[in-house]
Structure 1
Amino acid sequence: MKKILPTSTAGSLPKPAWLAEPEVLWSPWKLQDDALIEGKQDALRVALQEQLQAGIDIVSDGEQTRQHFVTTFIEHLEGVDFEKRETVRIRNRYDASVPTVVGAVARQKPVFVEDAKFLRQQTTQPIKWALPGPMTMIDTLYDNHYKSREKLAWEFAKILNQEAKELEAAGVDIIQFDEPAFNVFFDEVNDWGVATLERAIEGLQCETAVHICYGYGIKANTDWKKTLGSQWRQYEESFPKLQQSTIDIVSLECQNSHVPMDLIELIRGKKVMVGAIDVATNTIETADEVANTLRKALQFVDADKLYPSTNCGMAPLPRAVARGKLHALSAGAEIVRQELAR
């Protein structure tokens, strides 16, 4: 009997203070060499334990072994020079100093596969692993080689597919691609964004998910959200195309967001990861608030296709807050499960 409304997180959990500076994105490691490898594994164990204690059903590594959800993957590839930096606009929101693509991009060795095997050894629960999507990867780089966002995206899609196949072989149950860029570059999403994402999942037997959010609770993102008006309809642009795609699960932000719930209608037939936890505030939701968001979503998605989750990653939050939010997510999902069982 498969559990109904299986809970999961959209991605990162805060890192322990002994591993990296808390509540900071791109925080440098406090350890090095063998101590760092061991420290990352310890942090992964802790993140897993906290998810299990909170009753999270589909667990992850909490992204404990990576500094950033996009750049850590790119650091392991050939053709990208991290010394040669240029300033670019990230998702039309803020400037960042990013590495430069100087030659053909290629993956010589697995990036996260050993970490995924380690996680698999620690638990019998279903595990989910997050990778950056092709469009979000190109948005975090300066391309001096291909001179074409689309060409670079296809190259990254091939590389992601190699990694995803090895993650699947390592025992990962769900592979999630993070594509916040899908909420910004609508023409590209429809021209080639969804197509490159499908190339990244080609041949996979495990479940696949795409996570499209409005970003971490950092100032650049919260400022941007203020410009979006009373209704956030960005998903309207990408959902019809995703509905026709081979992706199994589509995630969206619902808690404290201005996303109209009925947009879920546009992905009818897909499983839906409903963000029922706001990651841009330190206020911990009550179980009832979570349950309420899930009930609203159930007007537009069948219960066997609803996956309660967080809006986005929780890396910048205090650990106690993230822990409280995990417990609220579980408790809220349990309330609705009981209601459905009646």
Structure 2
Amino acid sequence: MKKLLPTSTAGSLPKPSWLAEPETLWSPWKLQDEELVEGKRDALRLALHEQQLAGIDIVSDGEQTRQHFVTTFIEHLDGVDFEKRETVRIRDRYDASVPTVVAAVSRQKPVFVEDAKFLRKQTKQPIKWALPGPMTMIDTLFDAHYKSREKLAWEFARILNEEAKELEAAGVDIIQFDEPAFNVFFDEVNDWGVAALERAIEGLACETAVHICYGYGIKANTDWKKTLGSEWRQYEESFPKLARSNIDIISLECQNSHVPIDLIELVRGKKVMVGAIDVTRDTIETPEEVADTLRRALQFVDADKLYPSTNCGMAPLSRRVARGKLNALSAGAELIRRELLE
């Protein structure tokens, strides 16, 4: 029998201090060559162990082998020059120096497949793997070749589909596409964003998820959130279209955010990954706080379709805090399971 309310993380977990700088996003690696390869594998094992100790049901690699959730994938593709950099505005929020698309983009070899095979060998539990979504990928680059956000997104969707099919063959149970850009570029989401995402999942038999969040707790994101008013209704724009899409699971941010929880009603019928852990602060939620968020979500999603999760990745947090938050997520979900079975 499938477990009710299976828990998972939305993405990254903190890296050990011997691999990268603690509590720092996109920290450079502290090891190199063979030592780095081995160190990343050790960190992946450790991330899995932390999740298992906390009682997380659907486990992941904690993104231990990547520096950044988007650029680490792009680094392995042809057609992008990482030496030639331009400054662009990321998700209309902050400026960043990014690589340039200089020629047709293509993928000569798998990016994460060996890591996924390695994770698969370590556990019998269901595993989830995160990939950047097409729209979020184009938003992290300067395009000097296609000169069209849409064209480039379709190329990335095709490449992501190649990678996703190989991840599925490696034994991945859920492939998640991270699309924080869906909370910003509403016209594009409707015009071609959801369609590009569907191209990325074409032909997959495993479950697929889209993760749409408000980002890590970095200043640019927290400043942006302050401009959104007392209710964050961004999901209202993308949910109706996603409800009609072939994506199986929709992931959203609920804990300590201003997202009206009734927006979940817009994707009734889909599985919903409900973010019940705030990743922007060090305060560790109590199991009761997690349970309260899940309880409210259950008004709008059937219990067999509710997947308790974190709001976003936890890379910038300390390992102690992340561990506490994983434990709270597990314990909170268990409280609700008991209530539902009474």
Report the Cα distance in structure 1 between the residues aligned to 2:209 and 2:179, rounded to whole angstroms: 10
Q: How does 1:117-128 map to 2 (within 5 A)?
A: 117-128=117-128
- Aligned Cα RMSD in Å? 0.3
Equivalent positions of 1:226-265 (< 5 A) are 226-265=226-265
Q: Deviations over 1:159-215 (max 9, x none)?
A: 000000000000000000000000000000000000000000000000000000000
Separation in 2 of the partners of 1:189 and 1:327?
Answer: 35
Which residue identity is paired with 1:193? G
Q: Which consecutive unaligned segments of at least 5 residues does structure 1 have?
A: none
Distance 2:152 2:123 in 1: 36
| TM-aligned CA deviation for residue 25 of structure 1 | 1.0
Classify the secondary structure of the residue corresponding to 2:203: coil
Matched ranges for 1:265-284 at <5 A: 265-284=265-284
| Other structure's SS at 2:147 match | coil
2:30 alignment counterpart: 30
CA distance in 2, matches of 1:127, 1:245: 23
Q: Where does residue 147 of structure 1 map in the other structure? A: 147
Partner SS for 1:82? strand
AA partner of residue 230 (structure 1): S
Distance 1:25 1:12 in 2: 10
**Which residue in the other structure is 1:191 paired with?**
191
The separation in 2 between residues aligned to 1:193 and 1:145, in whole angstroms, is: 20
1:214 aligns with 2:214: yes
Separation in structure 1 between the aligned mates of residue 23 and residue 159 of structure 2, nearest angstrom: 31
Which residue of structure 1 lines up, in the alignment, with residue 100 of structure 2? 100
User: Within 2, Cα distance between the matches of 1:71 and 1:22?
Assistant: 20
Which amino acid counterpart does residue 57 of structure 2 have in structure 1?
Answer: D
Q: Distance in 1 between matches of 2:262 and 2:99?
A: 39
Q: Distance in 2 between matches of 1:198 and 1:209?
A: 11
Deviation for aligned residue 1:119: 0.2
AA aligned opposite 1:120 = R
Structure-2-length-normalised TM-score:
1.00
- Determine helix, strand or coil for the equivalent of 1:2: coil
The letter for the 2-side match of 1:89 is: R
Map of 2:45 onto structure 1: 45
Residue 73 of structure 1, CA deviation: 0.1
Q: Deviations over 1:52-110 (max 9, x none)?
A: 00000000000000000000000000000000000000000000000000000000000
2:56 paired with 1:56: yes
| Structure 2 match to 1:205 | 205
Deviations 1:13-55 (A, max 9, x none): 0000000011111100000000000000000000000000000
Total equivalences in the alignment: 342
Q: Which stretch has the larger CA shift, 21-30 or 54-63? A: 21-30
Structure 2, gaps ≥5 residues long? none
User: Is 2:59 the counterpart of 1:84?
Assistant: no
Structure 1 CA distance for aligned equivalents of residues 245 and 88 of structure 2 = 30
% identical aligned pairs: 87
TM-score, normalization: structure 1?
1.00
Residue 142 of structure 1, CA deviation: 0.1
SS at match of 2:125: coil
